[in-house]
Amino acid sequence: MKKILLAVSALFLFGATFAQTNVVNRHNEPSVTTKRIALTGFEEGAVPSTVKPMMRNMSRSYVGVTSYDCQSNGSMPGRIGMHSDGTVSAIWTTNGSTTASRGTGYNYFDGSAWVNSSSSSPRIENVRTGWPTMTTVGNAEIVAAHDGSTALVIGVCPQKGTQNWTFTTLQGPSVSNGTSTSTCLLWPSITSSGNTIHLIACTESDEGFLYNGINTCLVYYRGTFNPSDNTIAWESPRVVGDVTPSEVNHFQGDGYAIAAKGDNVAIVAAPGMTKNPFLWKSTNNGQTFTKTVFFETAPAGDTAYRSDGCLAVAIGDDGTAHIAMGTYWCYIMSDTSSSYTWWPSVGYLLYWNETMAPITYNGSQTSADPETLAAAGYTVVERFNLDCDESLWGVSGWGIDAYPSYGVGVVSFPQLIAQNGKVYMTFCQMMEFPFVDASSEKYYRGVFATKSDNNGQSFGDYSWLSYNKDCYYVDSWELFPIDTNVGLSLNDFMDYINTEGESVYPSVAPQLVNGNIAMIWQQDYVAGSEIKESSSAMCQEESLLYYFSMNADSIGIYNNTHEVCQGLWIDHTGISNKHVSGMKVYPNPASESVNLTFSSEISENGIVSVMNLMGQTVYTQNVSVSEGYNMINIPVKQFNSGVYMVTLRTNAGLSTQKLIVK
């Protein structure tokens, strides 16, 4: 039997080498140092193999299951449709008991419940498909998925939720390698604006099949949806970016994203590690496009930050294109070589929009460093810790395989919404010890979000969306978990890591509905993608698909990551009794009325009171506090000018904010 041992050792930096190249050391240490903990192992079979149901969380719902845990090669396509009446459509790549059963899993929220509450997730098609993507036109649902060999399978359901699907195929341009031809389209992504459908996908990926001289060529289709007969008339394809073989010799599957709003259409693509990621934008509904390189990539032979091929794009109400892109620190031998070296623990998420200057390569490998970009005013999200001790905790003896890459960097899988002058950005981050899958010796990922109130000029605090409130959290990993003063046992630790699990592949609805952001992600207790790592057609453990919805303006308040350090969530024995956090009063100063906002861990009754500086109570209100985000309006028109204290009292205690009435 093995025991868990905790010991802090020297700082370290993981390096990984693929193919026949030498590891090139990074020129500086990460912005957050990394510490190791000796975790010598567990008894065989100590980690439960069964998938536990996810515990309570804010508007989190189980919607489906899959044995195919590879939802994307990079960028996440649209997987969720949030309708104006509050109903929701969700899709994913599902898999039954056989590899031939792979296809599009589907579920529908009718306003009160998800229609399919069973554990099965049968596909909507009658043929094997993969990589589905969804958009909506009015009440109609449109899904595109590839069959992997001949065409895209296009499904149209004229009335959301009815599952009354009709299917057609969209063949790609015929390409040949000299001996055979192919018309397949792969890894699609779809969006719509009005009755216009915008779709991108890749041509045949096998070596030698060239379209316009480019292998795995990314093409754009524009279609018109006819609601009278539920058909789509497709135009001829165009090469995304109007690129030539001298610029790009191949594209990466899922290394792109698309968005549309009004007459604006935006496509972003990262064609390869030595090629420049670019924006291809139309302001006339896809008739013509203009190309902008927003991130100039270092050439081969340099060790530098490069795109990880995982991007997101959204269009604001003013027509501005907003982009997020994951990166990793990587050495490329040459443009034609498949050999490269990368560091799986080093990378960041970059945000950029059209009001900003493009990021240029100035001949120095530091031109795209996070410190350089942040100093120049760009938003850069690096991997951050969750206990705020200025260290990232790792496990001694765990090598590069402890960092399951999914083919992307440690901070990646971005999604964006740009609406009402605000930008909402979600992403995945590799977490630190003890958020680990001890059975396979890998680190879990979690889903996070941040918000900009000034159209992307700056972003606020982070919310940990996938945080599970039934986990134990402590304020120093050095005390965790075998310590009689803490009172946690080995069994507690096993429950802890398996209750958290891994949340990955987030896909966000392209717009808010009634102020809410909606998303779907994959969650399981086996870190990494079994499909990608074993090259098998099915994984051993089923993955669950979860739907999550919240008030978009509570991002940065709900599950605020700084609150771990402040002790607002936890003590040494579990969740603390201070349920309310993030309390704010606005506008402040005020003259007519103010809004009191806060986040609560539970539903309970409370009392709001306002007191002047003489200690006199001038206002009280009984309130019903809901789990999650709350907003309470307080009239102040009858108050005298001056300073007041606004207090929320619940069974858990008091929270107070200062208010100025003018």
Say yes or no: 351 and 495 in one domain: yes
Domain boundary among 576, 594, 619: 576
Neighbours of 531 (CB within 10 A): 20
In this prediction, residues 591-601 reach a mean pLDDT of 86
517 in any annotated domain: no
Say yes or no: 572 and 478 in one domain: yes
Mean pLDDT lowest among 88-97, 408-417, 447-456, 576-585? 576-585
What pLDDT, on a 0 to 100 scale, did the predictor assign at position 44? 30
pLDDT category of residue 475 using cuts at 50, 70 and 90: very low
Say yes or no: 498 and 584 in one domain: no
User: Do 346 and 410 touch, CB atoms closer than 8 A?
Assistant: yes
Say yes or no: 568 and 464 in one domain: yes
Tokens of 596: 């009191």
pLDDT category of residue 483 using cuts at 50, 70 and 90: very low
The residue among 576, 605, 608, 578 whose CA lies nearest residue 593 is: 608
What pLDDT, on a 0 to 100 scale, did the predictor assign at position 307? 95
Residue 332 vs residue 485, higher pLDDT: 332
626 in any annotated domain: yes
Say yes or no: 345 and 410 in one domain: yes
Domain boundary among 561, 576, 591: 576
Tokens of 431: 């977490």
Say yes or no: 317 and 343 in one domain: yes
568 in any annotated domain: yes
pLDDT at 42 over 60: no
The residue among 261, 207, 216, 222 whose CA lies nearest residue 243 is: 216
The residue among 350, 196, 209, 323 whose CA lies nearest residue 269 is: 323
Inter-CA distances, 550 with 425, 520, 543, Å: 14, 12, 23
Mean pLDDT lowest among 7-11, 110-114, 278-282, 284-288? 7-11
The string of DSSP letters for 546-559 reads EEEEEEGGGTTTTT
Say yes or no: 457 and 596 in one domain: no
User: Do 559 and 129 touch, CB atoms closer than 8 A?
Assistant: no
pLDDT category of residue 500 using cuts at 50, 70 and 90: low
DSSP 8-state secondary structure symbol assigned to residue 101: G
The residue among 476, 469, 404 whose CA lies nearest residue 440 is: 404
What pLDDT, on a 0 to 100 scale, did the predictor assign at position 589? 86
Q: Alpha-carbon distance 210 to 304, whole Å? A: 30
Domain limits for position 653: 579-661
Residue 662 vs residue 268, higher pLDDT: 268
Mean pLDDT lowest among 64-68, 258-262, 430-434, 560-564? 560-564
Domain boundary among 556, 576, 596: 576
101 in any annotated domain: no
pLDDT at 43 over 90: no
What pLDDT, on a 0 to 100 scale, did the predictor assign at position 35? 46
Say yes or no: 567 and 601 in one domain: no
| CA neighbours closer than 13 Å in the CB half-sphere of residue 352 | 23
Give the number of domains in the chain.
2
User: Do 547 and 109 touch, CB atoms closer than 8 A?
Assistant: yes
User: Do 408 and 344 touch, CB atoms closer than 8 A?
Assistant: no
What pLDDT, on a 0 to 100 scale, did the predictor assign at position 356? 97
411 in any annotated domain: yes
Question: 53: cis peptide before it, omega within 30°?
Answer: no
Q: What is the mean pLDDT of the chain?
A: 82
Residue 20 vs residue 377, higher pLDDT: 377
pTM recorded for the entire structure: 0.80
Say yes or no: 434 and 555 in one domain: yes
pLDDT at 578 over 60: no
516 in any annotated domain: no
pLDDT category of residue 564 using cuts at 50, 70 and 90: low
What pLDDT, on a 0 to 100 scale, did the predictor assign at position 206? 94
Residue 653's CATH number: 2.60.40.2550
pLDDT at 371 over 80: yes
Q: Alpha-carbon distance 540 to 519, whole Å? A: 26
pLDDT digits (tens, 9 = 90+) for 211-246: 999 999 999 999 999 999 999 999 999 999 999 999
Inter-CA distances, 31 with 13, 347, 656, Å: 12, 11, 35
What pLDDT, on a 0 to 100 scale, did the predictor assign at position 600? 81
Residue 304 one-letter amino acid:
A
pLDDT digits (tens, 9 = 90+) for 621-647: 999 888 888 889 999 998 998 888 888
